[in-house]
Amino acid sequence: MRVPSMHQALPVGLAIILVLFWTTGKSLGADRAILTPGIGLSNGAPGFGGQAKLFLVPNLGLETDLLWTPQICGNCTLSQSTVTENIFYWINPARFLSLYVSGGAGVAFYELTRPVSASGTLPVFDIGIGGVFWTGKHVGIEIENRLFFPEGGGLDSNPSSSLNNDRWFLGISIPL
């Protein structure tokens, strides 16, 4: 039996999440901001950063996402920093659980130091899904999976598609 790839499964997964969002109640945290410092794994390489979510109306808001990863390839030394602005849709299907989808765009800064030196700044688009398990009224544990798609000319004769990135993020969510 053939297992579908991430790119094949993502539209189905997003459709299921959107149906869930449309059939559940509004966000309990929709009147505040949430800060989430954390760690990430970009294509298996560790990094750190954070997110800031600001609710504009119940269940809908803007998010700033920042992450620095010192190495994202196996046979080279390539650091990546991403800064993206996203729109997110948020629900609370249970008192202790919040789920969201997000998407947006920003920039990615790349610094290649081995096997050759090169650097570049590329526009990047991202989409993601995530959830927060609220361990208390003022703290939660967030996990997210986000896909990044750089555009433009690439880096050191590598096309931008070779810099596509699958990132897992784990953080501590603090509502303000």
* Nearest C-alpha neighbor of 51 from the set 62, 61, 32, 66: 66
Residue 4 lies in a domain: no
Q: Are 59 and 26 in contact (CB under 8 A)?
A: yes
* Nearest C-alpha neighbor of 105 from the set 44, 155, 144, 146: 146
Q: Residue 48 corresponds to which tokens in the numbers above?
A: 């750190």
Residue 75 lies in a domain: yes
Residue 98 lies in a domain: yes
Confidence at residue 9, expressed as pLDDT on a 0 to 100 scale: 58
Residue 6 lies in a domain: no
Residue 5 lies in a domain: no
Confidence at residue 23, expressed as pLDDT on a 0 to 100 scale: 44
Q: Are 124 and 101 in contact (CB under 8 A)?
A: no
Residue 121 lies in a domain: yes
**Sequential pLDDT tens for the chain (176 residues):** 454 555 555 566 656 655 554 444 444 444 589 999 999 988 888 999 999 999 998 899 999 999 998 876 667 778 889 999 999 999 999 989 999 999 999 999 988 887 778 888 999 999 999 999 999 888 999 999 999 998 876 776 666 667 888 899 999 999 98
Residue 79 lies in a domain: yes
Residue 22 lies in a domain: no
Entry pTM: 0.77
Q: Which residues contact 95 (CB under 8 A, 6 or more apart)?
A: 28, 134
Task: For residue 66, give the CATH number of its domain.
Answer: 2.40.160.20
- Using omega within 30 degrees of 0 as the cis cutoff, is the peptide bond preceding 115 cis? yes
Neighbours of 130 (CB within 10 A): 22
- Owning domain of residue 85: 34-175
Our count of domains for the chain comes to 1
